[in-house]
């Protein structure tokens, strides 16, 4: 009989303009899913992108987040979840001063991109605004994990 053990505490990361934690990696779930936590400040909005290998579910813990996917625009509040299906372009925007949400990707793989595209956070707070970013390097790293960057931050899917 095997017993489950808790994963070690996640280390804070700066991923794009977010504070991020990887709580469950694919190697802990038989590659079936990953679980990450993100914290962002008002206006935070990643590049428009599409996941070709995984479905992405957002579950808001604190704050307000608007998810733009396909021709939909849906605001989600604490206790609400929303699925961004694979092959559907999407992005989100933080609409409260701060928001904290979980991201579940199925199957796993996104967490590896998150780890590769992040840097260790010197503190458990969101990164300062205006940090330099290399969109081409981000797009190249994303492509390895089946994520296609479709436009810069602020770009919405066609139809929204």
**pLDDT single digits (tens) 38-86:** 999 999 999 999 999 999 999 999 999 999 998 999 999 999 999 999 9
Q: Is it the case that residue 160 has pLDDT exceeding 80?
A: no
All structural domains of the chain with their residue ranges: 13-122+133-153
Tokens in use for 61?
Answer: 């813990």
The mean pLDDT value for 110-137 works out to: 93
Separation between Cα atoms, residue 75 and residue 160, nearest integer Å: 13
The mean pLDDT value for 143-158 works out to: 95
Which DSSP state fits 6? Answer: P
Q: How confident is the model at residue 115 (pLDDT cuts 50, 70, 90)?
A: very high
pLDDT at 4: 57
- What's the topology of domain 13-122+133-153? Jelly Rolls (2.60.120)
Distances (CA, A) of 158 to 59, 71, 72, 83, 89: 24, 7, 10, 18, 9
pLDDT at 1: 46
**pLDDT single digits (tens) 80-114:** 999 999 999 999 999 999 999 999 999 999 999 99
Within the chain, how many helices (H) and strands (E) appear? 2, 12
């Amino acid at each position: 009989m095997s017993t489950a053990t808790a994963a070690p505490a996640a280390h804070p990361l700066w991923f794009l303009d977010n504070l991020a934690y990887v709580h469950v990696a694919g190697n802990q779930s038989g590659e079936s899913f990953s679980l990450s936590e993100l914290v962002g400040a008002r206006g935070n909005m990643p590049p428009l992108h599409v996941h070709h290998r995984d479905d992405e579910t957002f579950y808001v813990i604190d704050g307000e987040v608007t998810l733009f996917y396909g021709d939909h625009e849906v605001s989600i509040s604490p206790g609400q979840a929303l699925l961004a299906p694979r092959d559907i372009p999407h992005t989100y925007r933080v609409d409260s001063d701060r928001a904290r949400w979980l991201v579940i990707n199925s199957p796993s793989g996104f967490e590896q991109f998150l780890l590769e595209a992040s840097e260790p956070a010197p503190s458990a707070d969101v990164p300062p605004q205006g940090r330099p970013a290399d969109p081409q390097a981000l797009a190249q790293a994303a492509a390895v994990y089946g994520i296609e960057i479709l436009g810069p931050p602020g770009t919405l899917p066609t139809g929204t």
